[in-house]
Chain A
Amino acid sequence: MRSMDTLNPPDDATEITAFWTWMGKDGICRTKTKPLAVITLKEAMENSVAVTSFYKDKKFPLLIDARNIKYMEREARKHFSTNGRETKINSFAIMVKSPLSRMIGNFFMGLNKPAIPARLFDDENEAVKWLKQHL
Protein backbone atom coordinates (compact mmCIF):
# COMPACT_ATOMS: atom_id res chain seq x y z
CA MET A 1 0.00 0.00 0.00
CA ARG A 2 1.27 3.46 -0.89
CA SER A 3 2.22 5.42 2.18
CA MET A 4 -0.29 8.16 2.82
CA ASP A 5 0.72 11.68 3.79
CA THR A 6 -1.95 13.41 5.78
CA LEU A 7 0.55 15.27 7.89
CA ASN A 8 1.11 18.36 5.76
CA PRO A 9 -0.60 21.20 7.57
CA PRO A 10 -3.45 22.67 5.50
CA ASP A 11 -3.69 26.45 5.09
CA ASP A 12 -6.34 26.72 7.76
CA ALA A 13 -4.29 24.81 10.38
CA THR A 14 -3.97 26.47 13.77
CA GLU A 15 -0.40 27.69 14.10
CA ILE A 16 1.11 28.16 17.55
CA THR A 17 4.68 28.53 18.82
CA ALA A 18 5.84 24.96 18.25
CA PHE A 19 2.97 23.18 16.47
CA TRP A 20 0.48 23.21 13.64
CA THR A 21 -2.84 21.63 14.58
CA TRP A 22 -5.87 20.76 12.48
CA MET A 23 -8.81 18.34 12.30
CA GLY A 24 -8.55 15.74 9.56
CA LYS A 25 -11.51 14.84 7.34
CA ASP A 26 -11.37 11.35 8.87
CA GLY A 27 -12.22 12.72 12.34
CA ILE A 28 -8.66 12.28 13.60
CA CYS A 29 -7.04 15.46 14.90
CA ARG A 30 -3.46 16.09 13.81
CA THR A 31 -0.71 18.07 15.43
CA LYS A 32 2.76 18.47 13.98
CA THR A 33 5.88 19.79 15.70
CA LYS A 34 7.75 22.50 13.87
CA PRO A 35 11.34 21.68 12.80
CA LEU A 36 13.70 21.50 15.82
CA ALA A 37 10.90 22.36 18.22
CA VAL A 38 11.78 22.44 21.91
CA ILE A 39 8.63 21.68 23.89
CA THR A 40 8.40 23.18 27.35
CA LEU A 41 5.26 23.19 29.51
CA LYS A 42 4.21 26.46 27.84
CA GLU A 43 4.25 24.93 24.35
CA ALA A 44 2.58 21.75 25.65
CA MET A 45 -0.28 23.75 27.18
CA GLU A 46 -0.66 25.86 24.06
CA ASN A 47 -0.95 22.64 22.11
CA SER A 48 -3.67 21.28 24.41
CA VAL A 49 -5.69 24.47 23.97
CA ALA A 50 -5.34 24.21 20.17
CA VAL A 51 -6.34 20.52 20.15
CA THR A 52 -9.27 21.07 22.53
CA SER A 53 -10.64 23.83 20.26
CA PHE A 54 -11.73 21.07 17.83
CA TYR A 55 -13.93 19.39 20.44
CA LYS A 56 -17.68 19.53 19.80
CA ASP A 57 -19.51 16.80 21.66
CA LYS A 58 -17.39 13.69 21.27
CA LYS A 59 -13.83 12.91 22.28
CA PHE A 60 -11.51 12.18 19.36
CA PRO A 61 -8.15 10.52 18.60
CA LEU A 62 -5.00 12.56 18.01
CA LEU A 63 -2.11 11.90 15.65
CA ILE A 64 1.10 13.64 16.77
CA ASP A 65 3.87 14.07 14.25
CA ALA A 66 6.99 14.38 16.40
CA ARG A 67 9.47 13.47 13.67
CA ASN A 68 11.03 16.95 13.72
CA ILE A 69 11.16 17.41 17.48
CA LYS A 70 14.41 18.52 19.14
CA TYR A 71 13.53 18.20 22.81
CA MET A 72 10.64 17.87 25.25
CA GLU A 73 11.12 18.93 28.86
CA ARG A 74 9.92 16.91 31.83
CA GLU A 75 6.96 19.15 32.68
CA ALA A 76 5.78 18.94 29.08
CA ARG A 77 6.08 15.14 29.12
CA LYS A 78 4.07 15.05 32.32
CA HIS A 79 1.40 17.29 30.76
CA PHE A 80 1.13 15.19 27.60
CA SER A 81 0.72 12.01 29.64
CA THR A 82 -2.80 13.42 30.45
CA ASN A 83 -2.51 11.93 33.95
CA GLY A 84 -4.61 13.87 36.43
CA ARG A 85 -6.19 16.28 33.94
CA GLU A 86 -9.31 16.39 31.83
CA THR A 87 -8.69 15.94 28.11
CA LYS A 88 -10.86 15.90 25.03
CA ILE A 89 -8.81 13.25 23.26
CA ASN A 90 -9.47 9.56 23.80
CA SER A 91 -6.18 8.19 22.40
CA PHE A 92 -3.04 9.35 20.66
CA ALA A 93 -0.44 8.01 18.28
CA ILE A 94 3.03 9.54 18.03
CA MET A 95 4.93 9.44 14.76
CA VAL A 96 8.69 9.10 15.23
CA LYS A 97 11.46 8.56 12.73
CA SER A 98 14.92 9.89 13.57
CA PRO A 99 16.94 8.38 16.44
CA LEU A 100 16.23 11.59 18.38
CA SER A 101 12.45 11.47 17.98
CA ARG A 102 12.50 7.73 18.78
CA MET A 103 14.44 8.40 21.97
CA ILE A 104 12.04 11.14 23.07
CA GLY A 105 8.99 9.08 22.13
CA ASN A 106 10.14 5.92 23.84
CA PHE A 107 11.26 7.79 26.94
CA PHE A 108 7.88 9.50 27.16
CA MET A 109 5.94 6.26 26.73
CA GLY A 110 8.17 4.32 29.12
CA LEU A 111 8.30 6.78 31.97
CA ASN A 112 5.21 8.92 31.73
CA LYS A 113 2.68 6.12 31.18
CA PRO A 114 -0.16 7.99 29.41
CA ALA A 115 -3.58 7.71 31.01
CA ILE A 116 -5.30 7.03 27.67
CA PRO A 117 -4.37 4.53 24.91
CA ALA A 118 -1.15 5.70 23.25
CA ARG A 119 1.39 4.14 20.88
CA LEU A 120 4.47 5.03 18.87
CA PHE A 121 4.53 4.50 15.11
CA ASP A 122 6.96 5.08 12.30
CA ASP A 123 4.36 4.32 9.66
CA GLU A 124 1.53 6.78 9.15
CA ASN A 125 -0.87 4.18 7.65
CA GLU A 126 -0.48 2.00 10.72
CA ALA A 127 -0.97 4.95 13.05
CA VAL A 128 -4.17 6.07 11.33
CA LYS A 129 -5.48 2.49 11.21
CA TRP A 130 -4.90 2.12 14.95
CA LEU A 131 -6.45 5.50 15.79
CA LYS A 132 -9.58 4.73 13.76
CA GLN A 133 -10.48 2.14 16.40
CA HIS A 134 -11.04 5.05 18.75
CA LEU A 135 -13.30 7.14 16.53
Chain B
Amino acid sequence: MPLSASNLSDHHKERVDRILEVVMAYAQLDFTKKTEVLGNEDVLDAIGAGINMLGEELENSTVSLKEKEQLLKEVHHRVKNNLQIVSSLLNLQSDNVLDEKYLAMIKDSRNRINSMAIVHEMLYASRDLSRIEISEYIQRLCNSVHQSFSRPGSDIRFRFEIEKDLYFEVDHMIPIGLIVNEIISNSFKYAFPKDKGEIKISLKRQDKIFSLGIEDNGIGLSESFNPEKDGHLGMQLIQMLSEQMEASIDIQRNNGTAYRIIFKD
Protein backbone atom coordinates (compact mmCIF):
# COMPACT_ATOMS: atom_id res chain seq x y z
CA MET B 1 0.00 0.00 0.00
CA PRO B 2 1.46 3.40 -0.88
CA LEU B 3 2.40 5.55 2.09
CA SER B 4 0.05 8.52 1.99
CA ALA B 5 -1.40 10.85 4.61
CA SER B 6 -4.76 9.07 4.40
CA ASN B 7 -3.43 5.70 5.50
CA LEU B 8 -1.08 6.96 8.22
CA SER B 9 -2.20 6.35 11.78
CA ASP B 10 -2.60 9.33 14.10
CA HIS B 11 0.58 8.25 15.86
CA HIS B 12 2.54 8.26 12.59
CA LYS B 13 1.04 11.60 11.54
CA GLU B 14 2.23 13.11 14.82
CA ARG B 15 5.71 11.74 14.26
CA VAL B 16 5.82 13.10 10.71
CA ASP B 17 4.75 16.53 12.06
CA ARG B 18 7.49 16.41 14.69
CA ILE B 19 10.08 15.47 12.07
CA LEU B 20 8.90 18.39 9.89
CA GLU B 21 9.23 20.76 12.84
CA VAL B 22 12.86 19.73 13.24
CA VAL B 23 13.53 20.09 9.50
CA MET B 24 12.10 23.63 9.62
CA ALA B 25 14.23 24.46 12.66
CA TYR B 26 17.37 23.26 10.83
CA ALA B 27 16.37 25.34 7.80
CA GLN B 28 16.48 28.36 10.15
CA LEU B 29 19.87 27.22 11.49
CA ASP B 30 18.38 26.29 14.86
CA PHE B 31 20.13 23.05 15.73
CA THR B 32 18.85 22.71 19.29
CA LYS B 33 16.01 20.42 18.19
CA LYS B 34 16.24 16.71 17.47
CA THR B 35 13.72 14.22 16.16
CA GLU B 36 12.73 11.44 18.50
CA VAL B 37 14.20 8.05 17.55
CA LEU B 38 12.14 5.36 19.24
CA GLY B 39 14.29 2.40 18.26
CA ASN B 40 11.49 0.83 16.24
CA GLU B 41 12.14 -1.17 13.12
CA ASP B 42 10.22 1.39 11.06
CA VAL B 43 11.09 3.86 8.33
CA LEU B 44 10.15 6.94 10.37
CA ASP B 45 12.85 6.08 12.90
CA ALA B 46 15.38 5.82 10.09
CA ILE B 47 14.29 9.15 8.58
CA GLY B 48 14.36 10.78 12.02
CA ALA B 49 17.89 9.49 12.72
CA GLY B 50 19.03 10.64 9.27
CA ILE B 51 17.68 14.13 9.90
CA ASN B 52 19.35 14.26 13.31
CA MET B 53 22.69 13.27 11.78
CA LEU B 54 22.25 15.80 9.00
CA GLY B 55 21.53 18.46 11.64
CA GLU B 56 24.76 17.59 13.46
CA GLU B 57 26.76 17.90 10.25
CA LEU B 58 25.06 21.18 9.30
CA GLU B 59 25.66 22.60 12.75
CA ASN B 60 29.32 21.69 12.52
CA SER B 61 29.68 23.30 9.07
CA THR B 62 27.89 26.43 10.25
CA VAL B 63 30.15 26.72 13.29
CA SER B 64 33.25 26.22 11.09
CA LEU B 65 32.03 28.92 8.72
CA LYS B 66 31.42 31.34 11.59
CA GLU B 67 34.87 30.59 13.01
CA LYS B 68 36.46 31.26 9.62
CA GLU B 69 34.56 34.53 9.27
CA GLN B 70 35.71 35.54 12.74
CA LEU B 71 39.29 34.68 11.85
CA LEU B 72 39.13 36.67 8.62
CA LYS B 73 37.68 39.62 10.52
CA GLU B 74 40.54 39.37 12.98
CA VAL B 75 43.06 39.32 10.13
CA HIS B 76 41.58 42.48 8.57
CA HIS B 77 41.55 44.13 11.99
CA ARG B 78 45.18 43.28 12.61
CA VAL B 79 46.29 44.35 9.14
CA LYS B 80 44.53 47.68 9.66
CA ASN B 81 46.13 48.10 13.11
CA ASN B 82 49.58 47.22 11.81
CA LEU B 83 49.24 49.67 8.93
CA GLN B 84 48.19 52.34 11.40
CA ILE B 85 51.21 51.55 13.56
CA VAL B 86 53.50 51.99 10.53
CA SER B 87 51.73 55.25 9.76
CA SER B 88 52.18 56.44 13.35
CA LEU B 89 55.86 55.47 13.28
CA LEU B 90 56.32 57.57 10.17
CA ASN B 91 54.55 60.41 11.93
CA LEU B 92 56.88 60.13 14.91
CA GLN B 93 59.84 60.04 12.56
CA SER B 94 58.68 63.24 10.92
CA ASP B 95 58.90 65.05 14.28
CA ASN B 96 62.68 64.92 13.97
CA VAL B 97 62.80 66.02 10.34
CA LEU B 98 63.13 69.65 9.33
CA ASP B 99 63.72 69.21 5.62
CA GLU B 100 60.47 70.02 3.76
CA LYS B 101 61.33 67.56 1.00
CA TYR B 102 61.60 64.64 3.42
CA LEU B 103 58.52 65.75 5.33
CA ALA B 104 56.55 65.66 2.07
CA MET B 105 57.87 62.18 1.30
CA ILE B 106 56.81 60.98 4.75
CA LYS B 107 53.35 62.50 4.27
CA ASP B 108 53.01 60.77 0.87
CA SER B 109 53.98 57.45 2.40
CA ARG B 110 51.49 57.91 5.25
CA ASN B 111 48.69 58.67 2.82
CA ARG B 112 49.51 55.59 0.76
CA ILE B 113 49.44 53.46 3.90
CA ASN B 114 46.17 55.04 5.03
CA SER B 115 44.56 54.29 1.66
CA MET B 116 45.21 50.59 2.32
CA ALA B 117 44.30 50.76 6.01
CA ILE B 118 40.85 52.15 5.12
CA VAL B 119 40.20 49.11 2.89
CA HIS B 120 40.95 46.72 5.76
CA GLU B 121 39.00 48.82 8.24
CA MET B 122 35.95 48.71 5.98
CA LEU B 123 36.36 44.99 5.31
CA TYR B 124 36.55 44.35 9.06
CA ALA B 125 33.33 46.27 9.62
CA SER B 126 31.43 44.86 6.66
CA ARG B 127 29.19 41.83 6.68
CA ASP B 128 30.72 40.65 3.44
CA LEU B 129 34.36 40.17 4.40
CA SER B 130 35.74 40.13 0.88
CA ARG B 131 34.20 43.18 -0.83
CA ILE B 132 33.52 46.80 -0.01
CA GLU B 133 31.36 49.50 -1.49
CA ILE B 134 33.52 51.84 -3.54
CA SER B 135 31.50 55.03 -3.11
CA GLU B 136 31.92 55.02 0.66
CA TYR B 137 35.56 54.01 0.35
CA ILE B 138 36.51 56.80 -2.06
CA GLN B 139 34.75 59.41 0.07
CA ARG B 140 36.55 58.22 3.21
CA LEU B 141 39.85 58.14 1.36
CA CYS B 142 39.35 61.65 0.00
CA ASN B 143 38.44 62.90 3.45
CA SER B 144 41.63 61.41 4.87
CA VAL B 145 43.83 62.92 2.13
CA HIS B 146 42.02 66.24 2.48
CA GLN B 147 42.79 66.35 6.19
CA SER B 148 46.47 65.62 5.60
CA PHE B 149 46.79 68.55 3.16
CA SER B 150 44.40 70.99 4.80
CA ARG B 151 45.77 74.40 5.60
CA PRO B 152 44.07 77.29 7.34
CA GLY B 153 41.94 79.22 4.87
CA SER B 154 42.11 76.64 2.09
CA ASP B 155 38.92 76.00 0.14
CA ILE B 156 39.37 72.84 -1.88
CA ARG B 157 36.22 70.82 -2.25
CA PHE B 158 35.27 67.41 -3.56
CA ARG B 159 32.41 66.51 -5.84
CA PHE B 160 31.46 62.87 -6.12
CA GLU B 161 29.52 61.26 -8.94
CA ILE B 162 29.99 57.64 -8.05
CA GLU B 163 27.37 55.00 -8.73
CA LYS B 164 25.99 53.49 -5.55
CA ASP B 165 26.17 49.81 -4.67
CA LEU B 166 29.30 49.04 -6.66
CA TYR B 167 31.34 46.52 -4.75
CA PHE B 168 34.96 45.55 -5.37
CA GLU B 169 37.18 42.84 -3.96
CA VAL B 170 40.26 43.81 -2.00
CA ASP B 171 42.55 42.90 -4.94
CA HIS B 172 40.92 45.64 -6.99
CA MET B 173 40.25 48.11 -4.21
CA ILE B 174 43.86 48.48 -3.05
CA PRO B 175 45.24 49.61 -6.46
CA ILE B 176 42.16 51.79 -7.09
CA GLY B 177 42.67 53.43 -3.69
CA LEU B 178 46.37 54.00 -4.31
CA ILE B 179 45.69 55.51 -7.75
CA VAL B 180 43.00 57.85 -6.38
CA ASN B 181 45.30 58.78 -3.51
CA GLU B 182 48.18 59.67 -5.86
CA ILE B 183 46.05 61.71 -8.23
CA ILE B 184 44.23 63.75 -5.61
CA SER B 185 47.49 64.23 -3.67
CA ASN B 186 48.97 65.70 -6.86
CA SER B 187 45.99 68.02 -7.16
CA PHE B 188 46.43 69.19 -3.57
CA LYS B 189 50.15 69.69 -4.08
CA TYR B 190 50.31 71.30 -7.52
CA ALA B 191 46.91 72.26 -8.93
CA PHE B 192 45.75 74.95 -6.55
CA PRO B 193 48.42 77.57 -5.77
CA LYS B 194 45.68 79.76 -4.30
CA ASP B 195 44.32 76.87 -2.20
CA LYS B 196 40.94 77.12 -3.88
CA GLY B 197 39.29 74.71 -6.30
CA GLU B 198 37.38 71.54 -6.85
CA ILE B 199 38.25 67.90 -7.38
CA LYS B 200 35.60 65.80 -9.05
CA ILE B 201 35.58 62.03 -8.82
CA SER B 202 33.23 59.95 -10.91
CA LEU B 203 32.78 56.25 -11.42
CA LYS B 204 30.43 54.76 -13.97
CA ARG B 205 29.79 51.21 -15.02
CA GLN B 206 28.76 49.96 -18.42
CA ASP B 207 28.35 46.17 -18.32
CA LYS B 208 31.68 44.95 -17.01
CA ILE B 209 33.66 48.07 -17.90
CA PHE B 210 34.28 50.76 -15.29
CA SER B 211 35.29 54.32 -16.00
CA LEU B 212 36.94 56.19 -13.14
CA GLY B 213 37.35 59.91 -13.65
CA ILE B 214 39.39 62.20 -11.40
CA GLU B 215 39.60 65.80 -12.47
CA ASP B 216 40.51 69.10 -10.89
CA ASN B 217 39.95 72.65 -12.07
CA GLY B 218 43.42 73.75 -11.10
CA ILE B 219 46.31 75.15 -13.14
CA GLY B 220 46.88 71.86 -15.00
CA LEU B 221 50.02 70.00 -15.97
CA SER B 222 52.36 71.81 -18.32
CA GLU B 223 52.07 70.83 -21.98
CA SER B 224 55.62 69.55 -21.97
CA PHE B 225 54.98 67.18 -19.06
CA ASN B 226 55.30 63.53 -20.09
CA PRO B 227 54.10 61.26 -17.30
CA GLU B 228 56.19 58.31 -18.50
CA LYS B 229 59.42 60.34 -18.64
CA ASP B 230 58.95 63.16 -16.18
CA GLY B 231 56.90 61.41 -13.57
CA HIS B 232 57.98 61.21 -9.94
CA LEU B 233 57.21 58.24 -7.72
CA GLY B 234 53.49 59.08 -7.59
CA MET B 235 53.20 59.06 -11.37
CA GLN B 236 55.21 55.87 -11.60
CA LEU B 237 52.85 54.29 -9.09
CA ILE B 238 49.79 55.33 -11.11
CA GLN B 239 51.32 53.79 -14.25
CA MET B 240 52.38 50.63 -12.47
CA LEU B 241 49.05 50.08 -10.69
CA SER B 242 47.11 50.73 -13.90
CA GLU B 243 49.16 48.06 -15.63
CA GLN B 244 48.53 45.72 -12.70
CA MET B 245 44.78 46.25 -13.12
CA GLU B 246 45.08 45.99 -16.90
CA ALA B 247 43.55 49.44 -17.00
CA SER B 248 44.01 52.11 -19.64
CA ILE B 249 44.79 55.62 -18.47
CA ASP B 250 44.20 58.86 -20.32
CA ILE B 251 45.22 62.35 -19.17
CA GLN B 252 43.48 65.50 -20.44
CA ARG B 253 44.64 69.06 -19.74
CA ASN B 254 41.63 71.31 -20.29
CA ASN B 255 40.89 73.78 -17.49
CA GLY B 256 42.80 71.63 -15.08
CA THR B 257 43.87 68.02 -15.17
CA ALA B 258 41.57 65.13 -15.84
CA TYR B 259 42.44 61.47 -15.53
CA ARG B 260 40.22 58.77 -17.04
CA ILE B 261 40.98 55.21 -16.00
CA ILE B 262 39.12 52.41 -17.74
CA PHE B 263 39.22 48.95 -16.20
CA LYS B 264 37.33 45.69 -16.13
CA ASP B 265 35.73 43.99 -13.15
Name A residues whose Cβ lies closer than 8 Å to a Cβ of B.
35-36, 70-74, 77, 98-100, 102-104, 107, 111
Contacts and interface: CB of A to CB of B under 8 A. Distances in A.
A111 B46 contact: no
A103 B50 contact: yes
A99 B43 contact: yes
B57 A71 contact: no
A71 B49 contact: yes
Interface in B34-54: 37, 39-43, 45-47, 49-50, 52-54
B47 A103 contact: yes
A36 B39 contact: yes
A71 B46 contact: no
B41 A70 contact: no
Q: Which 9 A-B pairs have the closest CB atoms?
A: A99-B46, A74-B56, A103-B46, A36-B39, A70-B39, A100-B46, A98-B41, A103-B50, A100-B45
A98 B47 CA distance: 12
Contact of B41 (A73, A77, A99): A99
A102 B57 contact: no
Contacts of B42: 99
A107 B50 contact: yes
Interface residues of B, number: 17
A114 to B, nearest CB: 16
Nearest to B43: A99
Contacts of B60: 74
Most buried by B among A98, A99, A100, A102: A100
A99 B50 CA distance: 10
B49 A100 contact: yes
A73 B56 contact: yes
A98 B46 contact: yes
Contacts of A98: 41, 46
A98 B39 CA distance: 10
Given A102-B46, A103-B46, A107-B54, 10 more contacts: A35-B39, A70-B49, A71-B52, A72-B53, A74-B60, A99-B41, A99-B45, A100-B37, A103-B50, A103-B53
A103 B49 contact: yes
A98 B53 CA distance: 17
Nearest to B40: A100
Contacts of B56: 73-74
B41 A100 contact: yes
A104 B57 contact: no
A61 to B, nearest CB: 26
A94 to B, nearest CB: 15
Contact of A71 (B37, B41, B47): B37
A107 B56 CA distance: 12
Interface in B177-197: none
A107 B60 CA distance: 15
A26 B41 CA distance: 31
Contacts of A99: 41-43, 45-46
Contacts of B52: 71
Contact of A74 (B37, B46, B47, B53): B53
Contacts of B41: 98-100
A77 B43 CA distance: 21
Given A71-B52, A100-B37, A103-B50, A111 B57 contact: yes
Given A99-B46, A100-B45, A107 B53 contact: yes
A71 B39 CA distance: 9
Contacts of B45: 99-100
Contacts of B53: 72, 74, 77, 103-104, 107, 111
A74 B31 CA distance: 13
